[in-house]
Amino acid sequence: MTNACLSLVLRTGVLVARISPETLQGPACTQFFGELKQVMHDDRVSRLVLDLGQVAGLMPEAIDLIAEFGGDLHSGGGWMRLANVSTTVRNALTTTNLPYRFDIRSTLGEAIA
């Protein structure tokens, strides 16, 4: 996590995490989610905004993280990206009584507003 990211968390309680394409490969992906999960245990973090960018489909690790801690899942691809996940996951993501939701927002600014 960068100092700028941690500074944002300290001021707002919102952690915005963006996944870059190079992070999606092997050990880097595992490390990213491991570090993110560790930071989420910090009492100063009250909300997570996870930006998957243009990732095709939703990553199981991302879904697990949002399910555990709550927050917002943002994808530039919108609902069309859900075509690549199972019906069970798609239904779960659209059920409003679960502790996570799939938000289609045009910018991260809207996501943390």
Give per-residue pLDDT as tens, 33-85: 887 788 778 777 777 777 766 554 556 777 777 777 766 666 554 433 333 44
Helix axes 60-69, 26-40, angle to 10 degrees: 0
| Mode of pairing for the β-strands spanning 47-51 and 14-18 | parallel
Q: What pLDDT score was predicted for residue 20?
A: 67
| Phi, then psi, of 54 in degrees rounded to 5 | -100, 25
pLDDT at 69: 74
pLDDT at 41: 80
Looking at the predicted structure, is the pLDDT value of residue 24 above 60? yes
Report the amino acid identity of residue 16: V
Alpha-helix runs per DSSP H in 1-113: 3-12, 26-40, 60-69, 87-93, 108-112
Q: What is the pLDDT of residue 109?
A: 44
C-alpha–C-alpha distance, residues 55 and 22, integer Å: 11
Query: Does domain 3-112 correspond to CATH entry 3.40.1350?
Result: no
Angle at 62 between CA 56 and CA 66, to 5 degrees: 135
What would you report as the CA-atom Rg of the chain, rounded to the nearest whole angstrom?
Answer: 13
Of 32 and 91, the structure prediction assigns the larger pLDDT to 32
Q: What is the mean pLDDT of residues 98-107?
A: 37
Eight-class DSSP state of 58 = -
Specify the higher pLDDT residue, 91 or 110: 91
